[in-house]
């Protein structure tokens, strides 16, 4: 199979390019904002609302564990959504998949705001909540991968890290918006909060859907996918390709995401449950959401900055800095939360999200698409992102809540958990080649399987990770 060697000139004088670059940035940003608004809102509601309204209160501790399990269900659905829509994205193009996913994801989130509670319909309430969470996760499984691929393929080569990171300000904006909205609604009297107040933010998702849909319908297809179509090299079997040749890249991508994704959800949601466990049931939970708010506010600056730095220093260097920061931060952070001081807890959460997590997210936006060939890039990024979301983010809530319940709030266990995620990601940065300024029209992956070619008749095959030269 011949490879595409002619770079797509994303710095050409095409008068439509600048307009489409802006449109792509907006389309990706609003989609990211909606996804993380929904997920952050769901996470905050899990620890404070859903455990009370959607599950039996015979055992409040187990109700919280069950609520976090429904939070994890969304992560289970994400790889299936990534697989299904990733194939469509590599066969039909990036644009139309992003139109479908925003409708599916946003529609499910809006429907959550209409669900009856356990007191109204019994076990049907958590069943419907799980169903909506599955649909939400199925759509989200390709949404973020699509936004990542879209911007990397549109961005100017020498500033790909910076431009690819810009839409991920939407992640910070969505998380920030969810934290602010949730902090405001928790000011309501408890009876009003539990009767109707919690529904308002979910119903507001509908407005973001309309804005994102309007922008995406006006978007043109990415230059690199157009190049594939021009050379008649669009893949008929992206699944066969990704599992036949792209699996090493998926595995390394999963490793890269463990600390960023798992650390994010531990600090966004689990920290609230842990603080209440050690501070007592009288703790004001709503105050801690300001830690998420400040962390997201920091991320508005640290995500594009770390993306820009990766254009100068390389993707691996900046990524490794973020992983090492989180590794060193793990034990002090969870110990500080045991002090029961609100100001310290807010600072711990904000610093962990704003610097530890987001310094990895910035270079990741360009790095993951650069790791995969053009014929199966969407599917490769989706699989790396969403399988890691199950292993890191999905388990963080339910396993962390279980560790808190059985250990009585032992901070050392949670420190070990976060440090382990950071160690995995740090190791993964040594397995991936430097992808800075890689030609995205290439159809080969940056991470490949190297076979021992010592001679015929050799029974064993050695599989190693090697750097592809270009």
SS (H, E, C) 279-340: HCCCCCHHHHHHHHHHHHHHHHHHHHHHHHHHHHHCHHHHHHHHHHHHHHHHHHHHHHHCCC
pLDDT at 422: 95
Confidence of residue 7 (pLDDT cuts 50, 70, 90): very low
In the prediction, which pLDDT does 464 show? 41
Asked whether the predicted pLDDT for residue 346 surpasses 80, the reply is yes
pTM of the model: 0.78
The larger pLDDT score, comparing residue 68 to residue 174, is at 174
Quick check: 432 and 446 in contact, CB under 8 A?
yes
pLDDT at 1: 41
Checking if the pLDDT of 299 tops 60, the result is: yes
Say which residue, 71 or 89, is predicted with more confidence.
Answer: 89
User: Could you tell me the pLDDT band of residue 304, with boundaries at 50, 70 and 90?
Assistant: very high
- Distance, CA of 116 to CA of 124 (rounded, Å): 9
- For 453-463, what is the mean pLDDT? 33
pLDDT at 456 over 60: no
Highest average pLDDT, of 214-223, 241-250, 332-341, comes from: 332-341
The ranges assigned to domains in the chain are 17-449
Nearest CA among 361, 392, 365 for reference residue 381: 365
Q: How do residues 228-259 score in pLDDT, each as one tens digit?
A: 777 766 777 788 888 878 889 999 999 999 99
pLDDT score for 14: 60
Cα–Cα distance, 66 to 56 (Å, whole number): 10
Closest by CA position to 270, among listed 392, 167, 110: 392
Indicate the average pLDDT of the chain. Answer: 81
pLDDT of the residue at 281: 61
CATH code for the structural domain at 17-449:
1.20.1250.20
Give the pLDDT band (50/70/90) at residue 430: very high
Q: What is the pLDDT of residue 317?
A: 95
Please say if the pLDDT value at position 371 is more than 90.
Answer: yes
**Phi/psi of residue 467, each to 5°?**
-90, 130
pLDDT at 79: 85
Distance CA 461, CA 128 (A): 49
Bridge partners of 466, per DSSP, are 448
């Amino acid at each position: 199979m011949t490879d595409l060697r002619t770079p797509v000139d994303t710095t050409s004088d095409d008068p439509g390019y600048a307009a489409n670059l802006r449109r792509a940035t907006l389309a990706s940003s609003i989609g990211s904002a909606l996804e993380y608004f929904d997920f952050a809102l769901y996470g905050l509601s899990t620890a404070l609302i859903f455990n009370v309204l959607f599950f039996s209160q015979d055992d409040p501790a187990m109700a919280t564990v069950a609520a976090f399990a429904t939070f994890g269900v969304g992560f289970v659905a994400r790889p299936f959504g990534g697989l299904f829509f990733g194939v469509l994205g590599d066969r039909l193009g990036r644009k139309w998949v992003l139109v479908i996913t925003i409708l599916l994801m946003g529609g499910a989130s809006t429907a959550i705001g209409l669900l009856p509670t356990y007191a109204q319909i019994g076990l049907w309430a958590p069943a419907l909540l799980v169903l909506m969470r599955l649909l939400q996760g199925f759509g989200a499984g390709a949404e973020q991968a699509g936004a990542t691929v879209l911007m990397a393929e549109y961005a100017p080569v020498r500033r790909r890290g910076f431009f690819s990171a810009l839409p991920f300000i939407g992640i910070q904006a969505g998380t920030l918006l969810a934290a602010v909205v949730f902090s405001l609604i928790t000011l309501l009297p408890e009876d009003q909060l539990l009767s109707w107040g919690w529904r308002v933010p979910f119903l507001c998702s509908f407005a973001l859907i309309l804005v994102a849909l309007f922008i995406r319908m006006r978007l043109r297809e990415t230059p690199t996918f157009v190049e594939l179509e021009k050379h008649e090299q669009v893949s008929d079997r992206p699944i066969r390709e990704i599992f036949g040749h792209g699996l090493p890249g998926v595995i390394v991508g999963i490793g890269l995401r463990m600390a960023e994704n798992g650390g994010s959800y531990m600090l966004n949601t689990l920290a609230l449950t842990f603080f209440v466990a050690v501070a007592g049931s009288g703790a004001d939970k709503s105050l801690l959401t300001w830690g998420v708010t400040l962390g997201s506010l920091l991320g508005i600056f640290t995500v594009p900055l770390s993306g820009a730095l990766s254009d100068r220093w390389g993707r691996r260097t900046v990524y490794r800095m973020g992983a090492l920061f989180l590794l060193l931060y793990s034990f002090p952070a969870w110990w500080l939360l045991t002090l029961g001081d609100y100001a310290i807890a807010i600072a711990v959460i904000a610093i962990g999200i704003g610097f530890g997590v987001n310094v990895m997210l910035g270079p990741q936006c360009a790095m993951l698409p650069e790791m995969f060939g053009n014929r199966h890039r969407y599917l490769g990024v989706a699989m790396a992102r969403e399988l890691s979301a199950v292993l890191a983010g999905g388990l963080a809530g339910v396993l962390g809540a279980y560790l808190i319940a059985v250990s009585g709030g032992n901070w050392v266990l949670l420190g070990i958990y976060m440090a382990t995620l950071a160690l995995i990601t740090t190791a993964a940065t040594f397995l991936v080649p430097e992808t800075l300024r890689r030609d995205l029209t290439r159809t080969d992956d940056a991470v490949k399987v190297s076979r021992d070619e010592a001679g015929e008749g050799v029974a064993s095959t050695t599989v190693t990770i090697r750097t592809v030269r270009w």
